[in-house]
Amino acid sequence: MTADIPTILATSAGFQRGRRSIFDIRPGRIHHFAAELANATRAPKICVLTQATGDPDARIGAFYSAFAGTRFTMSHLQLFPMPNVDDIRAHILAQDIVWVDGGSVANLCALWRVHGVDEILHEAWQAGVVMSGVSAGSICWHQGGSTDSFGLRLRGFTDGLGWLPYSNGVHYDAEEQRRPKMHELIGDGTLSDGYATDDGAGLVYRGTSLEEVVADREGPLGYQLRRADDGSVTETALPTRVLPEYPN
C-alpha cells in the first residue's frame, strides 16, 4: 500500500531502546505510525538507509534484529562499498516506507546525488512511498538545518534535498547548541523559516504542508521558527499529538 498523497515523516524519534546494549532496539511508535501513513498496517515493507553513518554492517544487522518477529518486512539499501541491490529504483518503489537513519546529513545528501538516489527517492515520494527518518534522516528532506557533519561545533547546512521549503532543527531539547544555533542561522538569513522537534517528536508533511506534529511519549514538542524583519526569531510551540502504543 502507499500514502494517499506524498508524505514525509521527519523526526527526532526512533527505535524503542532496551537495556542490554545500544543495539537492543525494537520498532518505535514512530515506525508503526509511518506504516499507518502508508496505509500498510498489516504487513508494512520498510527499507532502511544508513548512508549517513557509512553503511556499517553492525548497525544494519541491529536493524534487522529489531524488526525480526514483528509485522514489518525490512530490507536495506547499502551504497558502501557498492549498491547491494541491482535495481535501486525498483527496490525503493516496491516499499511502503523508507526510513533514513541519522549521522552526517552532508555526507548523506552528497552520496545520494552521486548515485542518483535522490531522484529515485523523489519519484517514490510522489508515488506514495512514505519518506521518513531521524536526525539527518529528518533534515535531508528540507532545505537545511544545523548539523555536526563538519565537526563538534554545530554549523549551518544549506544543501538538503529541498523538497520541503523550510529549515529543520532536530534534537531541539536534547543538545544545548541546537536551539540557539537554529535561532542564529534563521536570524542571519543562512536558513529559511522552518520547524524543529524535541527528541521523541516528529513532523508530518502532506505534500509540502505541515499537517501535524506527533510524539512517541508525553513531553516532546514541535516548534515553528519564524524570522522577523529585525532579525529576531519567534519560536512557537505547536500542538503535538502523542501516538498510541502499537502491537508489533
Active-site annotation holds for 171? yes
Active-site annotation holds for 75? no
**47: nearest Cα among 17, 7, 21, 85:** 85
* Residues 240/200, Cβ–Cβ less than 8 Å: no
Q: Which residues contact residue 38 at a Cβ distance below 8 angstroms, ignoring those fewer than 6 apart? A: 1, 2, 3, 7, 44, 96, 97, 128, 129, 130
Euclidean distance between CA atoms 139 and 154, whole angstroms: 14
Measured between alpha carbons, how far is residue 169 from residues 102, 152, 203, 241 in Å?
13, 16, 11, 19
Task: Say which of 12, 104, 132, 135 is annotated catalytic.
Answer: 135
Task: Say which of 31, 32, 142, 171 is annotated catalytic.
Answer: 171
**214: nearest Cα among 235, 238, 192, 233:** 238
Active site positions, annotated: 135, 171
